[in-house]
Amino acid sequence: MLKRFPEKNVEAGLKKTKILFNHLRTILFILCLESYFQKMSEKNHIELMAPAGSFESLMAAVQSGANSVYFGIEQLNMRATSSYNFTMEDLDKVASICHENNMKAYMTLNTIVYDHDLKLVKKIIDAANASGIDAIIASDQAVIHYARTVGLPVHISTQLNVTNIETVKFYSFFADVMVLSRELSLGQMKTICDGIIEEQIKGPSGELIRIEVFAHGALCMAVSGKCYLSLHTQNSSANRGACLQNCRRKYKVIDIEDGHELEIDNEFIMSPKDLSTISFLDQLIDTGITVLKIEGRARAPEYVYKVVKAYREAIDSVQDGSFSLQKVEGWVSELEKVYNRGFWGGYYLGKELGEWTNKQGSSATEKKIYLGQGIHYFPKAGIAHFKIDSHTLEIGDKILITGPETGVIESEITALMVDDIQAETAVKGEECTFPLDRKIRKSDKLYKIVPA
């Protein structure tokens, strides 16, 4: 015979069950909210990576708001001959400057490696590890393997041409960050980024794989920069960091059978314009990428300063909701002032054919003229002392100062003194002083900025 429970006990039990159910529902809701905001936070944290081809550029990256820098030392990096490279003796200083400014330091070691290079590879990686470099950017499996054996984190270089989620899965055994191929569209990037979250693809650190893309700078005519033109014509391998940039020259197209020359609109038929994503940066960030890289280790410190500063402001505007066409126009105007070959959006917006530059060298709207070197700075008075080695400095001139510790200073001459006498101009051979609110060092270089 079934025993009947009093109705009051049943009602009390139902009430407790209902309360417990509501508590559980609240807890689940809170957990879902936490998970959502964590994912949003991860998505919204964009690391801005700057190129550093010199200490001047490194300091420019610090001043302009970069979160990290990438650089090469001596050999075995993709700018081995086209830019100044740091030495192994510089590694401690580079790491120290970065970490003191809450920045990461990444070393490129992303060329083709031969057997005779392996001893040097290990020496470089050991030195980087001992100096506290945060990761190396690599493409050769020998480099990746050795770095992993000594516990130095690896980033997968664009040289490895990562274009799909299965490739991401493969390299997730070795690296936490991967640079996507520059030939992908925004839709293809988003598919990869979404796949990482959906499939929970994690790297050696146990964190989800982070995706890095190039946001601005020079583009190679070849897929992911794997070009053989320089090697074929002049025995100088681009894949060993020794590109002679044959693609940047003028060419004629001639029929070798009958000698007829084809008429073409642009003689620079292999020289791409520079990549610029600032006009659609909101769309690029929406794909789910987490690292934006600026190309330009072979370019000047003022290039690093202006480009990184513009992208820093643009990233912040995307994240605070103030990104606008008016702001984009202002940033593009600033970007046009420094070295560029004209701009296009690369293949990110779905274009199948490239856009080519129509002139030799830079299309920058401004250029710098060397004037002289620093002598002294008077901090109490806020006065800079320079010697003019060439040309003329005048009141009203826009000036640029660069130096290994100074980085980049942009200013305008509002007052000028020569031999302690107020003057309108300072000419070659004279020493002059003028007000400046930042410290300069001996031998800092002084330039005048003029329209190009």
Domain with 88, as residue range(s), is 45-221+270-344
Considering only CA atoms, which of 208, 209, 154, 160 is closest in space to residue 180? 160
Same-domain check for residues 310 and 406? no
Q: Give the model confidence (pLDDT) of 215-228 as tens digits.
A: 999 887 776 667 76
Same-domain check for residues 331 and 385? no
> Which DSSP helix (H) or strand (E) runs through 146?
helix 141-149
* Residue 12, domain member (yes or no): no
Q: Which of 314, 344, 374 is the last residue of a domain?
A: 344
**Concatenated DSSP letters of 148-204:** HHTT--EEE-GGG-B-SHHHHHHHTTT-SEEEBPTT--HHHHHHHHHHHHHTT-B-T
286-320 per-residue burial string, b: 16 or more CB within 10 A, e: under 16: ebbbbbbbbbbbbbbbbbbbbbbbbbbbbbebbee
Same-domain check for residues 106 and 198? yes
Distance CA 243, CA 220 (A): 10
Residue 259, pLDDT score: 79
Residue 41, pLDDT score: 47
Q: Are strands 68-71 and 104-109 parallel, antiparallel or unpaired?
A: parallel
Q: What is the spatial order of strands in the sheet that 417-418 belongs to?
A: 407-412, 398-403, 445-451, 366-378, 383-388, 431-435, 417-418, 421-422
Residue with tokens 């006498």: 421
pLDDT classification of 34: cutoffs 50, 70, 90: low
Same-domain check for residues 58 and 162? yes
pLDDT classification of 232: cutoffs 50, 70, 90: low
Q: Residues for the chain: how many in total?
A: 452
pLDDT classification of 256: cutoffs 50, 70, 90: confident
Mean pLDDT of the chain: 88
Distance CA 225, CA 347 (A): 14
* Residue 361, domain member (yes or no): no
Considering only CA atoms, which of 177, 70, 77, 179 is closest in space to residue 121? 77
Q: Which of 344, 376, 406 is the last residue of a domain?
A: 344
pLDDT classification of 414: cutoffs 50, 70, 90: very high
Q: Give mean pLDDT, residues 416-421.
A: 95
Residue 355, pLDDT score: 82
DSSP code, position 208: B
Distance CA 311, CA 330 (A): 12
Same-domain check for residues 447 and 301? no
pLDDT classification of 164: cutoffs 50, 70, 90: very high
* Residue 108, domain member (yes or no): yes
Least confident span in 26-40, 335-349, 365-379:
26-40
Residue 257, pLDDT score: 82
Residue with tokens 């513009």: 310
Q: Give mean pLDDT, residues 68-93.
A: 80
Percent of the chain whose predicted confidence (pLDDT) is above 70: 83
Query: 336: domain CATH number?
Result: 3.20.20.70
Same-domain check for residues 315 and 402? no
